[in-house]
Amino acid sequence: MQNSMNKTNEEPIEIAPNIFFIGVFDPNIRTFDIIMKTANGSSYNAYLIKTNEGVVILDGVKLEFQDIFFQKVEKLCTYNEIKYVISHHLEPDHAGSIPELIKRAPQAKVLISPQATAMLKAITHNENIDFETVWTNKSLKMGDKTIKFLTTPYLHWPETMSSYVQENKLLFSGDVFGSHYHDRRLFNDLVGDFHYSFKYYYDHIMRPFKSYVLNAITLYDKLEIDLIATLHGPILRDNPKKYIDYYRKWSQNSYKLSSNGKKTLSIFYLTSYKNTQDMAEAIYEGAESVDGIIANVYDLASIEESNMINILEDSDGILIGSPTINADAPKPVWELLSCMMLLEKKGKLGSAFGSYGWSGEAVDMIIHRLKSLNFRVPPIENIKIKLIPTEEELQDCYDFGVEFSHILNGKIIEMTMN
Ligand SMILES: Cc1cc2nc3c(=O)[nH]c(=O)nc-3n(C[C@H](O)[C@H](O)[C@H](O)COP(=O)(O)O)c2cc1C
Ligand SMILES: [Fe+2]
Ligand SMILES: [Fe+2]
């Protein structure tokens, strides 16, 4: 059977006057960037603008699909008509075809963000590319089109940017507002219901950069937008503002239903013989005795990953309790910590505690990991207890909960660097 992925007779699609979709569809991809499942594939969206002063290409596609991309380019122009290549994002799903494009159109100037300079060299291995860096308030006038650049870093790489065609009120957003959702009908008012995919994409790609999403939205809010041309999935022409508002809501909102302005401390533990659990409960009692703190205790043996992520996101501080098993912390502890990959880590306070039998490595390993994840780990003595905690040791746990909570409340202590 002929694989639809190999279709070569696809035509460019005009999405606004003289602005064309020249991207490619990848219905067979099932995992994206290791961390995302893509149940019905995706697309790598690229665009071409034709003017009477020449052609602008916006982004490219994955290397393995570049033949289809170039066939589409050739249906619209000759390579020597290409004056500019705008690259909003240099991840290989969009930049894979850039080196070959530069070879075919060596006169074209590549426009990138300043942060992309070193990356462009690292993906092309070509020191002689004619490129220029652009940022907010810079623009490019070509024939009847004015393209304004917007600096939107960390969505989701440091070099990402967006651009806006003034005459058509068209935002080229980059990866922002994308979906890994393959549907050749292309426009949001024609494709199937891709809501799940739009949210899933946000959760996995943009959620760790929430504050950058909000910064970008302040730029987008200044524009009148009729159409958002994303780098993946449907182009948003029906009510594009709705999608910006979703991102705004998800990025502003914590999932907290109520915290009464108090700081949230989440205490996670694992236990085999209840020793670490008893410690967790004593720490909880100590924390709860401090005004302005809401503490909760969670058994890591019985928690769903999605709940873990939401709890972590809403926690101002976290404490992780683990016994040492075979000179390590057991897997659920590392699973908890690996969820941090999907979250913004700024400013969270963390530490660890646990019971052990003889060597007690787990607590130090967790603390080391928390520091590498940029948690603030206060230099109060962490709590390791040999086997069954005594009453006195449980009192130490209580005191630890009190002290950690005071620090969470803003008590000034000297923080040492890693
Ligand atoms: C399979 C197994 C392996 C263990 N390995 C270690 C170890 O490498 N180092 C250590 O200090 N304690 C080790 N321990 C001892 C536990 O850390 C200790 O029993 C602890 O009190 C258990 O706390 P819990 O009741 O919270 O699970 C091991 C215990 C078990 C059951
Ligand atoms: Fe990307
Ligand atoms: Fe992408």
Digit-coded pLDDT (tens) for 366-404: 999 999 999 999 998 879 999 999 999 999 999 999 999
Q: Which of 252, 277, 312 is the last residue of a domain?
A: 252
Contact 89, 114 (CB under 8 A): no
Pocket of ligand 1 (CB under 6 A): 271-276, 323-327, 355-360, 387
Under the banding of pLDDT at 50, 70 and 90, the label for residue 82 is very high
Best residue for ligand 1 mutational test, from 268, 272, 359 (most atoms within 8 Å of Cβ): 272
Q: Which two tokens stand for residue 69?
A: 């991309």
Shared domain check, 270 and 237: no
Look at residue 247 and tell me if it is in a domain. yes
State how many domains the chain has: 2
Q: Please choose, from the candidates 114, 215, 239, 222, the residue with its C-alpha nearest in 3D space to the C-alpha of residue 166.
A: 222
Which CA distances in Å does 139 have to 47, 162, 212, 311? 18, 12, 22, 43
Shared domain check, 170 and 43: yes
Q: Which of 252, 279, 306 is the last residue of a domain?
A: 252
pTM of the predicted protein model: 0.88
Q: Which residues contact 406 (CB under 8 A, 6 or more apart)?
A: 290
Q: Please choose, from the candidates 293, 322, 292, 287, the residue with its C-alpha nearest in 3D space to the C-alpha of residue 403.
A: 287
Kindly tell me if the per-residue pLDDT of 134 is higher than 90: yes
Shared domain check, 359 and 292: yes
Q: What percent of the chain has pLDDT over 70?
A: 95
Higher pLDDT, 418 or 392: 392
Look at residue 26 and tell me if it is in a domain. yes
Look at residue 93 and tell me if it is in a domain. yes
Kindly tell me if the per-residue pLDDT of 4 is higher than 50: no
Shared domain check, 152 and 181: yes
233 alpha carbon – ligand 3 mean position (Å): 10
Read off φ and ψ for residue 112, nearest 5 degrees: -140, 170
End-to-end alpha carbon distance in the chain: 58
Best residue for ligand 1 mutational test, from 269, 278, 281, 325 (most atoms within 8 Å of Cβ): 325
Q: At what angle do helices 210-220 and 240-252 cross, to 10 degrees?
A: 140
Q: Residue 67, Cβ neighbours under 10 Å: how many?
A: 14
Kindly tell me if the per-residue pLDDT of 119 is higher than 80: yes
Higher pLDDT, 286 or 33: 286
Shared domain check, 287 and 192: no
Residue 301, pLDDT score: 96
279 alpha carbon – ligand 1 mean position (Å): 15
Look at residue 114 and tell me if it is in a domain. yes
pLDDT tens per residue across span 219-276: 999 999 999 999 999 999 999 999 999 999 999 966 565 567 899 999 999 999 999 9
- Mean pLDDT over 169-193 rounds to 97
- Report the nearest-CA residue for atom 12 of ligand 1: 357
Kindly tell me if the per-residue pLDDT of 3 is higher than 80: no
Kindly tell me if the per-residue pLDDT of 277 is higher than 90: yes
Shared domain check, 287 and 244: no
Ligand 1: atom nearest CA of 385 is 21
Look at residue 414 and tell me if it is in a domain. no
382 alpha carbon – ligand 3 mean position (Å): 42
Residue 190, pLDDT score: 97
Kindly tell me if the per-residue pLDDT of 6 is higher than 60: no
Strand partners for 351:
319
Under the banding of pLDDT at 50, 70 and 90, the label for residue 347 is confident
Closest ligand to C-alpha of residue 301 is: 1
Look at residue 209 and tell me if it is in a domain. yes
Look at residue 416 and tell me if it is in a domain. no
Shared domain check, 278 and 136: no
- Mean pLDDT over 350-375 rounds to 97
Look at residue 413 and tell me if it is in a domain. no
Kindly tell me if the per-residue pLDDT of 1 is higher than 90: no
Residue 255, pLDDT score: 59
Q: Which of 252, 279, 298 is the last residue of a domain?
A: 252
* DSSP string for residues in 35-90: TEE-TT-EEE--EEEEETTEEEEE----GGGHHHHHHHHHHH--GGGEEEEE-S--
pLDDT tens per residue across span 304-343: 998 999 999 999 999 999 999 999 999 999 999 999 999 9
Shared domain check, 235 and 297: no
Residue written as token pair 């020597």: 80
- Mean pLDDT over 147-154 rounds to 98
Which CA distances in Å does 391 have to 248, 282, 297, 321, 356? 49, 10, 20, 18, 17
- Expressed as residue numbers, the domain containing 204 is 2-252
301 alpha carbon – ligand 3 mean position (Å): 35
Under the banding of pLDDT at 50, 70 and 90, the label for residue 415 is low
Q: Residues lining ligand 2 (ion), CB within 5 A?
A: 91, 175
DSSP 3-state percent helix, strand, coil across the chain (nearest 5):
35, 25, 40
Q: What is the rounded average pLDDT for all residues in the chain?
A: 94
Residue 5, pLDDT score: 45
Q: Which residues contact 308 (CB under 8 A, 6 or more apart)?
A: 335, 336, 339
Shared domain check, 352 and 295: yes
Contact 94, 231 (CB under 8 A): yes
Ligand 1: atom nearest CA of 327 is 8
Under the banding of pLDDT at 50, 70 and 90, the label for residue 192 is very high
Residue 258, pLDDT score: 59
pLDDT tens per residue across span 37-51: 999 999 999 999 999
> Which of the residue ranges 131-140, 280-289, 405-414 would you say has the lowest mean pLDDT?
405-414
Q: Residue 413, Cβ neighbours under 10 Å: how many?
A: 11
